[in-house]
Amino acid sequence: MDTLNDVEIIIDNDLILEIGNNLRKIDTVINCNHKLVTPGFVDAHTHPVFLNARKDEFHMRLKGATYEDIVASGGGIRSSVSDLRNVDFSLLVSKLQSRMDSFLRFGTTTVECKSGYGLSIESELKSLKAINEVNNLHPIKIKKNIMNKKFI
């Protein structure tokens, strides 16, 4: 891979139009102080529509707990399904928006958001409505992917 030095980047409406030397179309010069300029990351596989993260379960597994132990303690995928089915819509939107803030803060500019945790028609529709709402409010680009089409 080649490294380009002393290049110009033409950006219009947040899109990189051209990269090269002596482009002569430059209206504004921005000194990046030897920092990297790169296109945003595209995350093509996410499941961000959920209420609570299950990171404690990961730590339990590292300590030797079985999935059955985790379920017995109230965790597991069923807890995610139940949470999604019962969460207030505005809280779900708030959680999703916060996750999109994190994506953007770390350089991800486009996210494929998969639905599917609710495992019912009502929950799929709730998830898709939340994705639509955040997509309309947030600067990140969201592409929807319906995981459980049998519910739609």
Tens digits of pLDDT across the chain (152 residues): 567 777 777 877 877 788 888 776 667 777 878 777 777 889 999 999 999 999 999 999 999 999 999 999 999 989 999 999 999 999 999 999 999 999 999 999 999 998 878 888 899 999 999 999 999 999 999 988 776 555 54
Where do the domains of the chain lie, and which CATH numbers do they carry?
40-151 (3.20.20.140)
Residue 109 to residue 127: CA distance in whole angstroms: 21
Query: Distance between alpha carbon 59 and the CA centroid of its chain, in Å?
Result: 23
pLDDT of residue 43: 92
pLDDT of residue 40: 86
Strand partners, 43: 111
pLDDT of residue 150: 58
pLDDT of residue 137: 92
